[in-house]
Amino acid sequence: MKKPTLLVLAAGMGSRFGGLKQIEPLGPNGEIIIDYSIYDAWKAGFGKVVFLIREELLDTFKEVIGNRAEGLLEVDYAFQSTDMVPEGYTCPEGRTKPWGTGHAVWCARNHIDGPFGVINADDFYGRDSYMKLSDYLVNHASDRNMCMVGFPVENTLTNNGTVSRGICVEEDGKLKSVVEHTKITKKEDGGLTDLASGNDIPDGSVASVNVWGLTPLIFDEMTRAFREFLDGLNEENALKAEFFLPACVDNLIKQGKTEVAMLKTTSKWYGVTYREDKGDVMKAFAEMHEKGEYPNLKQ
């Protein structure tokens, strides 16, 4: 049986970190987050990884990340730039901001020919997430059946500020919608609230942190949806509006073209949302290595 592919959205890494060579080591041997993602994906049975990057970073990306990944998985590269738009369209003059996660996935369409997972390059998701994702892609995925891995929202927080999370609405184990909350934080009583809306987050809520299991059906739908998105641009939003992956999936659900299984993981998410998060993440990774969960990933 063909092994699934993992699409890693990494086009924003260089701009956020001031160049790939400046990506901060967080593991005890100098590992960066993406090293753990590749290792966990390999252990979970993925056979190929496609890195979605900016083309001008290809050589540096290979040096810092890609060449090492080739020891575990088949490696391919896809590129994202603002001038990559459907035939008959052009990028608005002056646009430099990337088009968003939906566009990033769309840009990889010629590099993927079967069920695939999607993750962010700079988020740590834990091996259980990849195990659940791989199992679904191998045994259940079809044009009518896709999936999303959701996390207990309390497992996706930082101790140093608020986070933006999509809270999942499900029914009978299927994702119905994702409601965005932009300033989630802990309350003094231990509960969670969204400072932006003033609404509390119910206990037991499941958060989306961009772990999807998709099939190539999504690409044709994205082309259509991206055209509609571009048609709707105006002078006010042409330079800033983004085309998001969750919106594409949501449209497929509403149109009855697919169902999205809600897979729930017990893993804890880690990321450096704030500079102050670095110490907490380094401590967590050191403990994982001490427990034998990871070898030296820089060898």
Q: Tens digit of pLDDT for each residue in 48-80?
A: 999 999 999 999 999 989 999 999 999 999 999
The conformation of residue 62, written as its DSSP 8-state character, comes to I
Confidence of residue 22 (pLDDT cuts 50, 70, 90): low
Residues of 141-176 as b/e, b for ≥16 C-beta within 10 angstroms? beeebbbbbbbbbbbbbbeeebbebbbbebeeeebe
What CA dihedral angle connects 215, 36, 78 and 72, to 10 degrees? Answer: -90
126 within 8 A of 265, measured Cβ to Cβ = yes
State pLDDT tens for residues 237-294: 999 999 999 888 988 899 999 999 999 999 999 999 888 999 999 999 999 999 999 9
Q: Kindly list the distances between the CA atom of residue 250 and the CA atoms of 15, 179, 214, in Å, as whole numbers in the listed order.
A: 29, 11, 13
Q: Which of 70, 31, 96 is closest to 289 using CA atoms? A: 31
Cβ atoms of 184 and 193 closer than 8 Å: yes
Token pair listed for 45: 């049975």
CA dist 110 and 81 (Å) reads: 15
What is the share, in percent, of the chain residues with pLDDT greater than 90? 81
Report all structural domains of the chain as residue ranges with CATH numbers, in order of start: 5-290 (3.90.550.10)
Question: Which residues fall within 8 angstroms of residue 228, CB to CB, at 6 or more apart?
Answer: none
CA atoms in the 13 A half-sphere facing the CB of 20? 19
State both tokens at 108.
Answer: 């990889």
Asked whether the CA dihedral 52, 55, 56, 60 is positive or negative, the reply is: positive
pTM of the complete model: 0.94
Q: Which of the given ranges, 38-42, 54-58, 160-164, has the highest pLDDT on average?
A: 38-42
Distance between CA atoms of residues 156 and 268, nearest Å: 7
